[in-house]
Amino acid sequence: MPTKLPVIGVSRREFLELTALGAGVAVLPAGCASSGPTFLTGTERSTLAVLADHVLPQDKQPGGAALGVVDYIERLMTAFEFTPPRIFADGPFSNRNPYPAASGGVASTQYPADAFVNFLPLDRVQEAAWRLKLYGSVGVPGGGPNDAVLGPQKGMRDILRDGVAALHAAVPQGIGKLSSNDLELQLLHLADFRALMVQLTIEGCFCAPEYGGNKGGEGWQIAHFQGDTQPLGNTIYDPVLSDYRENPNFPVSTIDPGPDPEPLDDQTIALFTSIASSQAP
């Protein structure tokens, strides 16, 4: 369990450290993904790790691989080997934030249990949809409902497996030695695989940690993002004052305190100047 401290009043840095600590401990038991059912081979895991870092590189902070993208993908690909399938985490709260106190407009020291570690049973429609997404038309009885009209649907598992195989065929020496540009050139021949890999990498970097990615909440730290905030939220209604108290470190109605942690740089400014000038009016 995370250290239980009232959050209102701690500094922005301290809060991020606190939420990171909470997220790190709240993650499903270490090794859960690798000790459970697996879909990916060792070679596939290595390749996907390189690609995860291609999408979000390692620097002073972790990249996609260190954030757990491969574990995130493994959990999704094996979702149906668990009961209930690991598709939708439960709610309403993780254990990263305390309840508000009954009065005073401050946080309490009471934290909810982490409901995100549990997964929800799927209904008939959700199960049909997710089996089709993961296994494709060939992997579900009767195929997809519109295979005859729109063509069969390829499942995520096959897109990943075939994509890695195609990359290995095209680059027998291994993609780890390619420059980022050369890797992009290879991926451009594998449009479906590239799109899926980027989607899954981004999800795995910035999802709730209970899904297996965003290790230690470090993806959220990269983005200066609080993550889930319930049940505390950013404001607390004080019934004595008949008004709200805002978290001074994450205010709603005023500008953030302190300096901007990472202001827009010249490249971003140039990019958005270009984008804005290309739009009408």
Partner 1 sequence: MATTTTNPKIIGNQSLTQFDVLIVGSGAGASATANVLTAAGKKVLMLEAGVNGYRNLDNSDWSKVSTNFSNDELKLLFRNYIMPHQEIEPRTYRQNESAGDRTYTGEVNSMPKTVGGAAVHADVKTPRFAPNDFKLGTLLGPIADANFADWPWTYDDLEPFYSYVEKAIGVQGLDGSDPFAGPRSSTYPMPPGVPMYAGQLISDGAKKLGYHPFPYPTAVTSRPYKGRPACNDCGFCGQYGCPIHAKCTPAVTLLRDALLTGNLQLQSETRAVKILTNASGTSVTGIQVIGPDGKLQTFTADRYVLGMSPIEDARLCFLSSTAGIGNSSGMVGRNLTFHFQTLAAGIWNQRVHGHRGRTVTHGISDFRGTPGDPNHPMGGVVEFGAPDNVIGEALDYFNQIGLIGDRLKASMRQSPLRDHLMVITMHAEDAPQVTNRVDLDPAVRDLDGLPVPRITYSNHKFELDARAFYGPKMVEILQMAGTQWAFVAPADPISISRHVFGTLRAGTDSTTSVCDATGKFHDLDNLYGTGSSLFPTSSGYNPYLTITTVGTHVGATMVSPDSPLSALPAA
Total number of residues shown for the chain: 281
Which of 230, 241, 257, 270 is the binder for partner 1 (CB under 8 A)? 230
Residues 130-149 that bind partner 1 (CB under 8 A): 130, 132-133, 144-146, 149
Q: Which residues 6+ apart lie within 8 Å of 142 measured at CB?
A: none
- Tell me the residue type at 24: G
DSSP state of 18: H
Q: Is 268 in the site for partner 1 (CB under 8 A)?
A: yes
Q: Does 188 bind partner 1 (CB under 8 A)?
A: no
Is residue 50 within 8 Å of 176, Cβ to Cβ?
yes
Binding span for partner 1 by CB under 8 A among 1-9, 11-19, 159-167, 235-243: 235-243
108 binds partner 1 (CB under 8 A): no
Residue ranges in 75-104 that form contacts with partner 1 under rule CB under 8 A: 83-84, 87-94, 100
Mask: binding to partner 1, 111-130, rule CB under 8 A, as x and -? ----xxxxxxx-xxxx-xxx
Query: Is 265 an interacting residue with respect to partner 1 (CB under 8 A)?
Result: yes
Instruction: Specify whether the CB–CB gap between 131 and 139 falls below 8 A.
Output: yes
User: Among 18, 153, 217, 218, which residue sits at the site for partner 1 (rule: CB under 8 A)?
Assistant: 153
Beta strands in the chain (DSSP E): 235-238, 243-246
Cβ atoms of 116 and 139 within 8 Å: the answer is no
Peptide bond into 251 cis (omega under 30): no
Residue 185 in the binding site for partner 1 (CB under 8 A): no
Window 48 to 67, contacts with partner 1 (CB under 8 A): 54-57, 59, 63
